Amino acid sequence: MSEMLDLLVVGAGPTGIAIGAEARREGMSVLLVDRGPVTAAIQGYPTFMEFFTTRDRLEIAGIPFTIPDAKPTRRQALSYYRSVVDAFKIPLALYEDVLEVRREDDGFTVVGRRLRDGVETVRRTRSVALATGYFFNPRRLGVEGEDLPWVHDRYVEPHPHYGQDVVVIGAGNTAAEAAVELWRAGVRVTLVHRGAALKPGVKYWLKPDVENRIEEGSIAARFHTRVTAFRNDGVHVEGPDGPAVLPADAAFVLVGYTPDADFERRCGVEVDPETLIPKVDPETCESTVPGLYVAGTLQAGRWTDRIFIENSRDHGPKIVSHLKSRLLTPV
């Protein structure tokens, strides 16, 4: 059992780092706990991804994002957020899964397990902020064969698939980016989507590129089509022309993510069963459990395209300001 912390943050992404930086600025004891590395979600983005957002809107904790480009790359963002951790000397407990957040009279007991050796950790803290995001919970299709080794829910690089047949399922930014990168790397690509076209929110410089490749026949596209199974002979689909089997050496299911609402509920947070939006005070980010805060993309529930780094940067200051006032009296 460790000494009492002022704040324990579950999650070490940009939102968690921003909260940790604000806490350090105010002289509070804080710890960021994450089941993966720092900024795991960004590490999981495609290697050569360029952000839609400009660098100034990705800045946190008052640390300038000093690069010559208007829109940062994945690599630049990883370096920037590490620099914020270094600047504020934010304590980290990485590769540790949080199993339980238990409310008690004088604060919380947080039980975790280190992934490296399975050792259980028990920490005491006056407050907890949940900033886990959603990247660890990719949406699944729920069809036969989705767990086959050649079916993936993350796309990183095209080069391992040179000369292969690859099916990309989805029509958002990641799916569109994967399809065009794979094609440019010498891959035979088929894009499958249950809707009529690419999603409207696809990056404005990417969307026409993919649409032009589809129109010219470089990328095969099957719209109004759903996947029914992954089998050894390929990806089975059902579309306007009936059932078909698409040849596939690999498939990428890139249909988005969902927050871990069950974890939020286990922590005591009230979560709407339909929208998965947690009940929080918009002025403080505090949930209905005193001293337990919810920050970042978790606040958007199922609508993971509504809250990003740029429109949740104020969550850290809100939480720490409220917590600072609460520390003057028992939580």
| pLDDT band at residue 46 using 50, 70 and 90 as cut-offs | confident
The pLDDT assigned to 127 comes to: 97
| pLDDT band at residue 310 using 50, 70 and 90 as cut-offs | confident
The pLDDT assigned to 69 comes to: 87
Say if CB 179 and CB 191 are below 8 A apart: yes
Which DSSP helix (H) or strand (E) runs through 21?
Answer: helix 14-25
| Alpha-carbon span 87 to 83, nearest angstrom | 6
Angle between helix 14-25 and 315-326 (nearest 10) = 40
Contacts 24+ apart (CB under 8 A), 228-231: 228/143, 228/144, 229/143, 229/144, 229/145, 230/143, 230/144, 230/145, 230/146, 230/148, 230/150, 230/151, 231/144, 231/145
Give the percent of the chain with pLDDT over 70: 98
The pLDDT assigned to 44 comes to: 86
Q: How many residues does the chain have?
A: 331
| Alpha-carbon span 187 to 190, nearest angstrom | 10
pTM: 0.87
Which tens digits make up the pLDDT trace of 209-262?
Answer: 999 999 999 999 999 999 999 999 999 999 999 999 999 999 999 998 888 899
The pLDDT assigned to 331 comes to: 45
The residue-averaged pLDDT of 31-49 equals 92
Residue 165 has pLDDT above 70, yes or no: yes
How far does the chain reach from its first CA to its final CA, in angstroms? 20
Say if CB 60 and CB 320 are below 8 A apart: no
How far is residue 264 from each of residues 18, 81, 159, 259, 311, measured CA to CA in Å?
A: 20, 25, 38, 9, 21
The pLDDT assigned to 27 comes to: 96
Which tens digits make up the pLDDT trace of 90-105?
Answer: 999 999 999 999 999 8
| Alpha-carbon span 294 to 58, nearest angstrom | 20
| pLDDT band at residue 106 using 50, 70 and 90 as cut-offs | confident
Within 10 angstroms of residue 200's Cβ, the number of other Cβ atoms is 7
Half-sphere exposure of 11 (CA within 13 A, CB side): 29
Query: Which of 324, 326, 306 has its CA nearest to residue 316?
Result: 324
Residue 328 has pLDDT above 70, yes or no: no
